[in-house]
Structure 1
């Protein structure tokens, strides 16, 4: 059987209410009973003492059994609810007016009797001679002859006759009224509780419907539809309101992540499309020249054959470089590459990278320049990965700087880090292409800018170092990219220094 939360709460509340009502009824009955016993015992507390003082139950020879039975029979006729007994000093029953065979005890525990004589608070219960286990209210007083205690007068105030009449009679009207009152209060409380649970759980039911709808849609609704009301204050005591606010925040967060994932998926689609375009061009050229070599092998001159082979080789290098870039990007994005930081001189690394591009710069008639501040401490980073960043940035700058232009690398101090800036005198990057610059390839002047993958790889590498690459606004034509790297700290926590004297910039090819 499947029950809703409201139904389960109602059943639990009804059960608790039933238990509480039963306990209250039992306590009410017991309280009434104890009050009745206290009243009866209080009114008849001196009855035994009056009998002991006024009745002639002894003579010079001791107890007079005939007088005892006669007196006790007369008292029980006057008040049938009482039973009178004469006890010896040790509690043994010495005289009574009970019918033959009705006694179940021959001795009474005297501890309650002495408490009664000493004036203890009422009610006090003692042994019932006509029951093996029963205890009843009583009146007791010592019986003295010539100043000597010879026993006790023991009067059971609500005897066997009272019990028979009470069992045959109807329930007391006061008790009946009390029980009915408890029942009515329990029913009213149950009805009020059901209404209260319904009202209290209404926001929870609404939230449940919202969650169910969210699960059924399979995708979060757009963010504008999720504008939540003012969230509860941190010290709010309304758990359902807090839960609702937390759910709205979760849905908003899921919506944002959904949009991010959608955007990333779109970017990957664009990347795949652009890479496919980049691969198609060199592969088509490579295929065309190889097919030409195959078909015209007998008619081609050696110089022409070498030219075709050179073009095919150049196109194969482009395909290989693009495949290598894709492989590096995949390893970076999926966390297969972790930087292994070490101290090294950034100026030396710039010189090494310039040497790799010396011939390419000469062929394009582009000057390579370095602006390096003196006394730069070593940086703490992965040498191979930082070299890859510089290589990508310089490769992009060279390929998009016209002849006669300049590519400059600037190294400068910036607080507790080294700022590296690579700038060129090319056409620059249009404002509409700067959004998502490091996340997807872009084009300049209708042609694809091949540095798209390179910038994305540089962005991922610097993110692994806790840094970020940014496009710098320039007053002159061209593009400038800038990033920072931390200094390598020495044992004292201060930056390391290779030399304490000024170091001139390394000789770089122009």
Structure 2
């Protein structure tokens, strides 16, 4: 049978309570019994001494039968529970008033008697001559004749008569009251304990229900919950707060995974779209060359081949960008930090795009201050960043437009701004700009992968890129690189 935590705690508490109550009852009985024996023996401590002093029971010739009989008769009348025995110097019983067959020992251990006579702490139990192994409280005194000790007077204070009366439970009322009191207290403690356990484990049961109902697919938006105090004495409250934080964290991670999965789906769809267009064009022109090769003029054949090669380069460039993005996002590329001159890199990249800009009558402008500190970054990756940004700017800047690069030294970095005079990017398209492809004017802008690569490269450098507003210009991107002067 499976028990809940509350039931197990209650069962353990009940068992411990029964054990403690039983132990307490036994100790109570034991304590009462020892107290009774101590009182009886204390009150009768000098009884044997008075008897031995007032009655001549023995002389040098031995017992005096008449004195012994008179003593036993008087004691039986005064206190029937008292039994008197005469012992010789070795502890052997030489006189008694026991009925025939009731004397079961003919010798009494003298060690308790000596302890009693020396004034040891009461109660002291000695041998009961009318029992094989029983021990009872007693009073004892030495017997002397002619100045010499010839034996002991041994008085058992609670004899057979007391045992018979005690067996009838005539004196057990106080003990019964004590036992009933212990039982009632134990019952009340059990009820209080069960109520306390139910109250204490209530938060734990609520937390168990909450954990059982937890469904990551149905996790709501994270709720701001106060962090548990490190020195809190309520462990269940700390556990509840920890579970709430874990629930929020799992929900956030699940939403992030879901969002990333959606982004991957969109990226695959966008890449498929971007690949389908040049591949269809490439296939169409190659098919035209195959079917109409004999009827095409050399000029048409060269034009078709040029278009096919251009579409082939687009497919190759897209595949290369996709491969580069995968390598960046999966940690296959790690930046190698080195110092280099950013103005020299900008001028080298301008030379790369000079012919393209002239062909479209676009002006390339660079604002390079005289003293630009050396930056610390991966030269090849930063070259890729500037190449992608300039390539996007040139492709989306109309003829007779302008593309500008501005370097601005700061306290510990160099800010880089790349802007164009194109149509810019509408506000609804700016969300997730660096994580997916986007469109301008209804046409897909194929620089989506390029911007995502830029974003990832700068992330590897611990930097970020922003799209900022610059009056009179189109799309303006800015980022910063660490300057050598900031390193110590």
TM-score, reference length from structure 2:
0.88
Aligned with 1:37: secondary structure?
A: helix
For 1:196 and 1:113, the matched residues in 2 are separated by 54
Q: What does the per-residue CA deviation read over 1:416-455, in whole Å, with 9 as the maximum and x for residues that have no partner?
A: 2232222222222222222222122211222222221111
Of 359, 375, 378, 1:379 maps to 375
Compute the displacement of 1:168 (Å). 4.9
The answer on 1:436 being equivalent to 2:429 is no
Map 1:392-431 → 2, pairs under 5 A = 392-431=388-427
Write the distance in 2 (CA, Å) between the matches of 1:116 and 1:8.
Answer: 52
CA distance in 1, matches of 2:68, 2:387: 128
Q: Distance in 1 between matches of 2:455 and 2:345?
A: 19
| Equivalent-residue separation in structure 2 for 1:199 and 1:52 (angstroms) | 69
Question: Is 1:261 aligned to residue 257 of structure 2?
Answer: yes
Match of 1:507 in 2: none
Alignment of 1:316 with 2:315, yes or no, is no
* Cα distance change of structure 1 residues 35 and 396 upon mapping to structure 2, 3 Å threshold: same
Distance 1:380 1:231, change over 3 A: closer
Q: Kindly tell me: are residues 429 and 292 of structure 1, through their superposed partners in 2, closer, same or farther at Cα, counting changes over 3 Å?
A: same
2:80 counterpart of 1:84 = no
- 1:240 corresponds, among 236, 243, 265, to 236
Alpha-carbon offset, residue 287 of structure 1: 0.9
Q: How many positions carry a matched residue from both structures? A: 485
Q: Secondary structure of 1:415's partner?
A: coil
Task: Give the Cα–Cα distance (whole angstroms) in 1 for the partners of residues 407 and 70 of structure 2.
Answer: 127
Confirm or deny: 8 A CA contact 2:60 2:145 kept in the other structure. no
Partners in 2 of 1:134 and 1:228 — Cα distance? 76
8 Å contact 1:105–1:130 — kept in the other structure?
Answer: no
CA separation of 1:52/1:485 partners in 2, compared to 1, >3 Å: closer, same or farther?
farther
Conserved? CA contact 1:293–1:305, under 8 Å: yes
Q: TM-score, normalised on structure 1?
A: 0.85
Q: Does 1:361 align with 2:357?
A: yes
* Distance in structure 1 (CA, Å) of the matches to 2:348 and 2:138: 116
Change (3 A) 1:260 1:85: same
Residues 271, 57 of structure 1: CA spacing in aligned structure 2 closer, same or farther, 3 A cutoff? same
Partner residue in 1 for 2:8? 8
Aligned twin of 2:182: 182
**Residue in 1 aligned with 2:217?**
219
Asked if the contact 1:125–1:136 (Cα under 8 Å) also holds between the matched residues in 2, the reply is yes
Indicate if the aligned counterparts of 2:93 and 2:106 stay in contact, CA closer than 8 A: no
Query: 2:60 aligned with 1:64, yes or no?
Result: no
Alpha-carbon shift at residue 148 of structure 1 (Å): 4.7
Aligned position for 2:245: 249
1:219 is paired with a residue whose SS is: helix
3-state SS of 1:51 partner: helix
Question: In terms of mean alpha carbon deviation, does 73-82 or 392-401 score higher?
Answer: 73-82
**How is 1:97-496 mapped onto 2 (pairs within 5 angstroms)?**
97=96, 102-104=103-105, 106-110=107-111, 112-129=112-129, 134-145=134-145, 147-169=147-169, 172-215=172-215, 219-223=217-221, 227=223, 236-488=232-484, 494=488
| Structure 1 residue 263: Cα displacement | 2.5
Q: Give distance in 2, aligned partners of 1:105 and 1:394.
A: 124
Quick one: distance in 2 between partners of 1:414 and 1:368? 24
Compared CA separation, residues 355 and 151, structure 1 to 2 (3 A): farther
TM-fit CA distance, 1:4? 1.8
Distance 1:331 1:170 in 2: 98
**Residue aligned with 2:417, SS:** strand
Q: Where do 5+ consecutive residues of structure 2 fail to align?
A: none
Gaps of 5+ in 1: 495-510
1:127/1:134 contact within 8 Å kept: yes
- The alpha-carbon distance between structure 1 residues 177 and 409, as it changes in their structure 2 partners (threshold 3 A), is same
- In 2 relative to 1, CA 477–106 (structure 1 residues): closer, same or farther, beyond 3 Å? same
Is the CA contact (8 Å cut-off) linking 1:339 and 1:385 kept in structure 2? yes
